[in-house]
Amino acid sequence: MTAQFLSTEALVDALADASFDRPPALVSNAHVTGLGVARALDAHDVPVIALDRGGNDAGGGGEGDAPAAGDAGGNAGAVRHDGLAPPSDAVDFAGAVTYPLDDLGGFRDDVEAVVDAAGTEAVAFGCMDEWALAYAEADPDGVRLPFAGIETLDEVLNKSALYATCEALGVPYPETYRLAETADAATREPDASLDEAAEALGFPLVVKPELKRDFEEAFGTNVIEVADREEFADVVAAASDEGIAVMAQRRVDVAPGRDHSLASYVPPSGTDDALGIVGNAAVRYPRQFGTSCLVETADEPAIEERALAVLGDAGYHGISEAEFVYDTDREAFLLLDVNTRPWKWIGMPVAAGANLPMAAYAAVTDAAYESPGVEPTRWVFLPDYLSLLAGDDAFWDQLAPADWRRLVSGAFEREGDLMTGVYRPSDPAPAAKLFETAFVDRDYYCAC
């Protein structure tokens, strides 16, 4: 376990004194998703170096950042970081690197310095889009990528290309129009004008970017619902000013509790050798458009088949989550998105018997991994789940009394079919840090 989140310079110094008997994993970000990946790898004795942006606002490379809480005047190399992965027993070292969206070259330099200090090659796990894309685009020396290269990632993440693939393969997807007002006419023909899309889709409708990363940086979200023509025009104009291509999409009448995803690792040999499991996001927080807080295994072979067909057509290999929603009007599962990286509930397939991070690590190292078989499993993110129970909206508890007893006693780690996102008595520091940071006056930190 690492006791502190270090500045880049302090991390490099610490790694220079360490030795590794196998390539360490570089896990970025260092919050809930990174914690899940770190625990999955640590279960097979893979050393983990957690890398993230540091500082009070989770930004910057760390050299000028304020000391960590409780460490002022103690270790000058420690910087503040609110993420939950660094105090985990599963993390060996943790520290700041330049945020790639601020300076990709600086990110590459920092990662190469980390790898050089470690004295061995490392395996990268990007746990949010910007980190996965940065590792692929920067391609730092000494870093092995257990996923496809940047061109393939862009092909899968670009929604115009993704939905074109769906159309060709007969995979249902939401009715979508690429807009002329933001289209790059030099690359492909636009689908529709703003008026044409509005007439075809009606209101309310949703506006989505072709590529999420720039849109999220500009607007703080990856989807905007608009109620009328004026709002629609304002959002499209704002996207055009930012140089971001967007699409208009019919608002899907989603059946709550029926969202499903294929969680998978596809090796370079192709989808025939994929390791996958379908998860049902039975509960989200907030209920309609929030992130998953209760996920359970599901038997939906059609979803697995369709997701693997899309991944195979794109030539993608690596970890991914293919997200489907159930459209009550069309009575069909629609493919919304493919995340080419680990995600918040990555611990569910691991607990079920499909350790996707370890399968990816083994594919690019001398390590070996074989799934023992998949068992029915549920995963809960207790902070969000308890917020639902305590909220004003009616929500019926979906956990049984026996589940709560196992959670409180810690027996869930040894028996039953329920696993948690952060809280684990065998690795208590992340949950303790969650309590420490939950009630202080700081900006929101994404639960991903």
Reading the block at residue 37, the tokens are 């990946």
Q: Answer positive or negative: Cα dihedral of 195, 199, 205, 206.
A: negative
Chain-centroid distance, C-alpha 309: 21
Neighbours of 71 (CB within 10 A): 17
Measured CA to CA, the distance from residue 357 to residue 359 in angstroms comes to 5
> At 234, which CATH number?
3.30.1490.20
270 and 416 share a domain? yes
Residues 142 and 66 in one domain: yes
Domain holding 71: CATH number? 3.40.50
**Same domain, residue pair 273 and 414:** yes
Task: Kindly give the pairing relationship between strand 25-28 and strand 122-126.
Answer: parallel
Count how many residues are written for the chain: 448
- Answer yes or no: do 205 and 312 share one domain: no
Point out which residues pair with 397 in neighbouring strands. none
- For residue 114, tell me if it sits in a domain: yes
> Alpha-carbon torsion 138, 139, 144, 150, what sign?
positive
Sign for the pseudo-dihedral over CA of 181, 182, 183, 185: positive
Q: Regarding beta strands 143-144 and 122-126, do their DSSP bridges make them parallel or antiparallel, or are they unpaired? A: parallel
In a domain, 438, yes or no: no
Among 298, 341, 378, smallest CA distance to 131 is for 341
Q: Is 354 left (phi over 0), alpha (psi -120 to 50) or beta?
A: beta
Q: Are residues 123 and 12 in the same domain?
A: yes
Is residue 434 domain-resident?
Answer: no
Residue 199 CA to residue 75 CA, distance in Å, equals 61
The residues that bridge with 123 in the sheet, in sequence order, are 25, 144
Cβ proximity of 261 and 321 under 8 Å: yes
Task: Decide: residue 400, CB within 10 A, 0-12 exposed, 13-18 middle, 19+ buried.
Answer: exposed
Instruction: Judge whether 1 lies within some domain.
Output: no
Residue pLDDT, tens place only, 350-398: 999 999 999 999 999 999 999 999 999 999 999 999 999 998 788 999 9
In the numeric block, which tokens belong to residue 244?
């971001």
Q: What is the pLDDT of residue 182?
A: 79
Q: Which structural domain, as residue segments, surrounds residue 392?
A: 259-340+345-380+382-420
pLDDT at 427: 97
Q: Same domain, yes or no, for 203 and 238?
A: yes
- The CATH number covering residue 310 comes to 3.30.470.20
Asked if the structure places residue 414 within a domain, the reply is: yes
152 vs 314: CA distance, rounded Å: 7
Q: Where are the beta strands (DSSP E) in 340-441?
A: 378-380, 418-420
Instruction: Please tell me the total count of domains within the chain.
Output: 3
Same domain for 267 and 291, yes or no, is yes
Q: What amino acid occupies position 446?
A: C
225 is a domain residue: yes
Tell whether 92 is covered by a domain.
yes
Return the SS3 of 101. Answer: coil
Residue 447's pLDDT is 73
**Where is the domain boundary, 250, 268, 291?**
250
Euclidean distance between CA atoms 52 and 77, whole angstroms: 15
Would you call the peptide bond into 204 cis, given omega within 30 degrees of 0 as the criterion? yes
Sign, CA dihedral 57-59-64-65, equals positive
pLDDT tens digit sequence for 199-242: 999 999 999 999 887 888 789 888 999 999 999 999 999 999 99
The count of other CB atoms within 10 Å of the CB of residue 432 is 12
Q: Which two tokens stand for residue 286?
A: 């907030």
Phi-psi region of 222 (alpha: psi -120 to 50; beta: other; left: phi over 0): alpha
Domain closes at, from 218, 250, 282: 250
How confident is the model at residue 288, as a pLDDT?
Answer: 75
pLDDT score of 140: 98
* Chain centroid offset of residue 331 CA: 28
pLDDT at position 448 is 82
Q: Distances from the Cα of 374 to the Cαs of 134, 260, 308, in angstroms?
A: 32, 17, 18
Q: Which residues of the chain have pLDDT under 50?
A: 56-74, 185-187
Do the beta carbons of residue 129 and residue 341 sit within 8 Å? yes
**336 and 405 housed in the same domain:** yes
Helices 150-157 and 301-314: angle between axes, nearest 10 degrees: 130
| 366 and 304 housed in the same domain | yes
| Residue 30 shares a structural domain with residue 61 | yes
Residue 308 sits in the same domain as residue 390: yes
Q: Where a domain ends, among 250, 279, 302?
A: 250
26, part of any domain? yes
Strand spans (E) along 224-346: 224-226, 246-250, 259-266, 275-285, 291-297, 318-327, 332-339
- Give yes or no: residues 135 and 236 share one domain: no
